Amino acid sequence: MDRERRPESESDWMGRRSAVSRCSTPEVAGVKHFVASVDELSEDGSQAIVDADGLQIVVFYVGGEYHALADFCIHQGARLSEGKLTGKMEVGADGISKEYDEDHPCVICPWHEWKFDVETGRNVSDDQYVTPTFDVSVEDERVYVHR
């Protein structure tokens, strides 16, 4: 059984992985929505929200890259933009210990603390749960999300 939660129409919010450096402009599909200027979204950990045809999308700037996620937790709908950005716990090289990777950005849902990888949208505890991600591009010092 597929445990991934989906809204009534999957096509309403499904996107693609989104991570671009602030200097690149990849060829991407979808309608382009202005998010912010590069200056407005240039501090590590900063974020901006855009309404893309009725869907709220949060764009994070982390480690020199932009990442866009649907601004809702698939668990019960909390706004991920109100959550905390943090690193990720990973299994250590010995296969037993855990190591904290502060360079691997995740957002924590403010309601029930579900943690999502901002690069992939996957829940770090159970990757069957995925928050939609979207492509991001930078053109003429302006950040856009594509949906």
**Residue-range domain boundaries for the chain:** 16-146
In this predicted structure, the answer to whether residue 21 has a pLDDT above a threshold of 60 is no
Contacts 24+ apart (CB under 8 A), 108-114: 108/83, 108/84, 109/73, 109/75, 109/78, 109/80, 109/83, 110/78, 110/79, 110/82, 110/83, 110/84, 111/73, 111/75, 111/76, 111/78, 112/73, 112/75, 112/76, 112/78, 114/73, 114/75
Q: What is the pTM of this model?
A: 0.74
Check if the beta carbon of residue 58 is closer than 8 Å to that of residue 121. Answer: no
Query: pLDDT per residue over 24-69, tens digit each?
Result: 444 567 899 999 999 999 998 999 999 999 999 999 999 899 999 9
Assigned CATH class of 16-146: mainly beta
